[in-house]
Amino acid sequence: MRALFGLSILLFSIAAQSANAQPTIQHTLYRLGVEIAANPCDTQARKTVKQVQNQFEEKILDERVTIRCKNLALVKYRAKSHIPPHEILESLSLNAPHAKLPKEVAPGATRGEVLAFAGNPLESTPDTLQYLLNDEGPDQQTVVFKFTRGRLASVAWSWSSH
């Protein structure tokens, strides 16, 4: 009985730690991209809509929506087979600071600042740091930090499942 009580305390402790755990950097970077995509532009945006054939139902025409504003481009896929249509983020890129983006990972930051914030990347070159946004599934969702002359020049999220 005492062993069972001890095991219960241990499991409760682990559950409590998990509930209070800090989000992973993958989750943080993913969330930042989604938050920016939800409200991408402070200024006038240009929106273009292109019809594309649904990859599963040839009779359905979906839409690829591109939103551009100063220093930002966002691409969403609008699946018209859903009521209401379901929007799927495909990509987001920006080359200037954004209100939702911490200064450590905003254009203008140093490589050291990005590494201190985000930790070790999945892949690294002298000009890029690439981080994986998800652990599972066939989709490889990434965020890539590109540097020019030692400073962060752009940040690009890719949620594409292709």
Q: Residue ranges per domain, the chain?
A: 24-158
Helices (H), the chain: 2-20, 25-38, 111-118
Residue 139's pLDDT is 62
Of 23-27, 101-105, 145-149, least confident by mean pLDDT is 23-27
User: Using CA of residue 114, residue 159, residue 137, residue 127, what is the dihedral sign?
Assistant: negative
Cα–Cα–Cα angle for 44, 50, 51, rounded to 5 degrees = 145
At 32-78, the pLDDT tens digits run 999 999 989 887 889 999 999 888 888 888 899 999 998 999 999 98
**Nearest CA-CA partner of 87 in 79, 99, 98:** 79
At 123-152, the pLDDT tens digits run 999 999 999 988 765 567 999 999 999 999
Write down the mean pLDDT value for the chain.
Answer: 84
